[in-house]
């Protein structure tokens, strides 16, 4: 009896050993196979965005016999993503590939945390892509490959325009729509008071959302070389004073008033006539079914030109990767027609970097806008400028908002805020350039 039990146990052990080997083999298959180079790709994204990002990764993996990419989603904000990346880099365990918001690129590159992709980027036919999407950083190297082009335009409530008898703004960036026309329309749409007040427009003072007004008046926050403050120039002060006049006239909600209901919700509920935002709001606003809405260019001053900021997030290879060439192969695929079409299918990536995809998929993008209004987004690329992000941009933002929040609350005059902020920015620029 003991002999039979021993034999049974032996047979069971052999079966389990065989099964274990089989599971190991299957596990290797799930991870791309034992002989494949395994790459980690880390991004920050909402759960609703993951089918698109996972889609391009799956398509790449299916095209490869030697490389397998594993996509890791880090939930949370960009700040949380940066904290986690900093910790992983410090621990010597960074992912191979990352997706980084353009505002944070100088921070990573200045610390030597990204691979220089210049040798790889040079192999691309840049004529296939929109101009100025391959950004060089302070030392002349290229640390990221473009994902897509995000710009900003003016979303407006057509129903409120109709009720106020206002002509729609032009859908052509080359046709002037002035600050005066913008403010006049906002004044006509503003009505009521208290919790149900209807505002004509929202003007925020966050530099990443208001820089276009300073630029359109030939001003700015800092210069393109990132060496001098521009916030206290006459042109910048005039733009900031113009924005503050919306607060003082009660035609824009203050920062305090938007704490109870965010500006995007004010627009979606029909209580806000106009708001300057990017293509990233299209999926949310596409859900609106209670009124008609559209997009128009950003209004300009009489002394300036139409302009909008662009935000081009980047694919990067983190320093410390043992497989830089393989990581570039993946990134190069992510920039291909196949991958960009997948992102378009899922409403991700902004305007595709490939001209051919942008042209061929125009009818599939930015719905439910009509053809003329879709063109506002496509034209915006030619009227866009890069925000001069420094390697200490978060500090620049924090110090700017300390002053601009007071302007938005009408507790500090715009020109005085600019004078007080300028020497602070000069100090931060000196630190950034050391």
Are the CB atoms for 328 and 117 separated by under 8 Å?
A: yes
Predicted TM-score (pTM) of this structure: 0.85
Distance from C-alpha of 239 to C-alpha of 162, rounded to nearest angstrom:
28
Buried b (16+ CB within 10 A) or exposed e, 13-48: eeeeeeeeeeeeeeeeeeebeeebbbbbbbbbbeee
- Asked whether the beta carbons of 374 and 288 are under 8 A apart, the reply is no
Cα 128 from chain centroid?
A: 22
CA dihedral 386, 387, 390, 394 (to 10 degrees): -140
Is residue 207 within 8 A of residue 216, CB to CB? The reply is no
pLDDT of residue 11: 39
Q: What is the pLDDT of residues 377-427, one digit of tens each?
A: 999 988 999 999 999 999 999 999 999 999 999 999 999 999 999 999 999
Q: Which residues contact 76 (CB under 8 A, 6 or more apart)?
A: 44
pLDDT of residue 139: 72
**With bands split at pLDDT 50, 70 and 90, how would you rate the model's confidence at 150?**
very high
Is residue 250 scored above 80 in pLDDT? yes
The mean per-residue pLDDT over the stretch 130-142 comes to 74
The β-bridge relationship of strands 351-352 and 97-100 is unpaired
386: closest CA among 212, 269, 196?
212
pLDDT in tens, 340-365: 999 999 888 889 999 999 999 989 99
3-state secondary structure of 184: helix
* pLDDT tens per residue across span 286-342: 999 999 999 999 999 998 999 999 999 999 999 989 999 999 999 999 999 999 999
pLDDT of residue 195: 85
Structural Rg of the chain based on CA atoms:
26
| Of the candidates 400, 155, 159, 348, the residue with the CA atom closest to the CA atom of residue 263 | 155
Judge whether residue 190 has pLDDT over 80. Answer: yes
101 Cβ contact partners less than 8 Å away, ≥ 6 residues apart: 78, 311, 313
For 255, the 3-state DSSP assignment is: coil
Helix and strand counts by DSSP (H, E) for the chain:
18, 11
409-417 contacts, C-beta under 8 A, 24 or more apart: 409/247, 409/254, 409/255, 409/256, 410/244, 410/247, 410/248, 410/254, 413/241, 413/244, 414/237, 414/240, 414/241, 414/243, 414/244, 415/237, 415/240, 415/241, 417/240
What was the pLDDT predicted at 25?
36
Q: Could you give all domains of the chain from N- to C-terminal order, each with its CATH number?
A: 35-147+312-360 (3.40.190.10), 150-310+386-432 (3.40.190.10)
Residue 107: per-residue pLDDT: 93
pLDDT of 138: 61
Task: Give the pair of three-digit tokens for residue 248.
Answer: 């003082």
Q: Is the pLDDT of residue 3 over 80?
A: no
Three-state SS for 233? Answer: coil
Query: Mean pLDDT score of the chain, rounded to an integer?
Result: 89
Asked if 38 and 9 count as a contact pair (C-beta separation under 8 A), the reply is: no
Tens-digit pLDDT profile for residues 39-51: 999 999 888 889 9
Dihedral class, residue 298 (left if φ above 0, else alpha if ψ from -120 to 50, else beta): beta
**Can you tell me the mean pLDDT for 202-213?**
94
Q: Give, in degrees to the nearest 5, the angle at Cα 285 between 281 and 289.
A: 175
Q: Which pLDDT score is estimated for 137? A: 66
Confidence of residue 120 (pLDDT cuts 50, 70, 90): very high
| Tens-place pLDDT, residues 102-119 | 999 999 999 999 999 999
């Amino acid at each position: 009896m003991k002999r039979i039990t021993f034999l049974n146990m032996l047979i069971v052990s052999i079966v389990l050993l065989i099964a274990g080997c089989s599971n190991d083999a299957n596990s290797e298959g799930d991870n791309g196979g034992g002989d494949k180079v395994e790459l980690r790709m880390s991004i920050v994204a909402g759960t609703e965005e993951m089918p698109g990002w996972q889609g391009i990764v799956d398509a790449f993996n299916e095209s490869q016999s030697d490389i397998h990419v594993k996509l890791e989603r880090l939930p949370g904000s960009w700040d949380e993503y940066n904290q986690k990346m900093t910790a992983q880099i410090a621990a010597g365990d960074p992912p191979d590939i990352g997706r980084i918001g353009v505002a944070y690129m100088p921070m990573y590159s200045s610390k030597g945390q990204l691979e220089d992709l210049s040798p790889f980027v040079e192999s691309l036919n840049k004529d296939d892509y929109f101009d100025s999407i391959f950004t060089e950083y302070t030392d002349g190297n290229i640390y990221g490959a473009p994902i897509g082009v995000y710009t900003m335009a003016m979303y407006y409530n057509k129903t409120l325009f109709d009720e106020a008898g206002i002509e729609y703004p032009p859908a052509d960036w080359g046709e002037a729509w002035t600050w005066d026309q913008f403010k006049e329309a906002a004044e006509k749409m503003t009505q009521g008071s208290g919790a149900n007040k209807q505002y004509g427009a929202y003007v925020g003072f966050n530099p990443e959302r208001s820089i276009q007004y300073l630029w359109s008046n030939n001003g700015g926050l800092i210069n393109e070389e990132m060496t001098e403050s521009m916030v206290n120039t006459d042109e910048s002060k005039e733009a900031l004073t113009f924005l503050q006049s919306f607060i003082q006239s009660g035609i824009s909600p203050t920062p305090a008033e938007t704490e109870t209901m965010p500006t995007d919700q004010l627009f979606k509920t029909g209580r806000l006539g106009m708001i300057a935002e990017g293509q990233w709001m299209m999926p949310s606003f596409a859900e609106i079914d209670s009124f008609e809405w559209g997009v128009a260019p950003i209004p300009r001053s009489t002394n300036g030109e139409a302009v909008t900021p662009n935000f081009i997030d980047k694919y990067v290879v983190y320093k410390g990767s043992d497989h830089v060439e393989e990581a570039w192969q993946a990134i190069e695929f992510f920039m291909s027609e196949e991958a960009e079409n997948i992102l378009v299918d899922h409403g991700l990536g902004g305007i595709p970097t490939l001209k051919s995809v942008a042209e061929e998929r125009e009818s599939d993008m930015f719905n439910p806008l009509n053809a003329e209004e879709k063109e506002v987004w496509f034209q915006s690329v030619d009227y866009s400028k890069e925000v001069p992000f420094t390697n200490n941009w978060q500090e620049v933002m924090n110090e700017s908002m300390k002053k601009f929040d007071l302007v938005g609350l009408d507790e500090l005059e715009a020109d005085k805020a600019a004078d007080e902020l300028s020497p602070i920015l000069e100090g931060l620029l000196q630190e950034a350039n050391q």
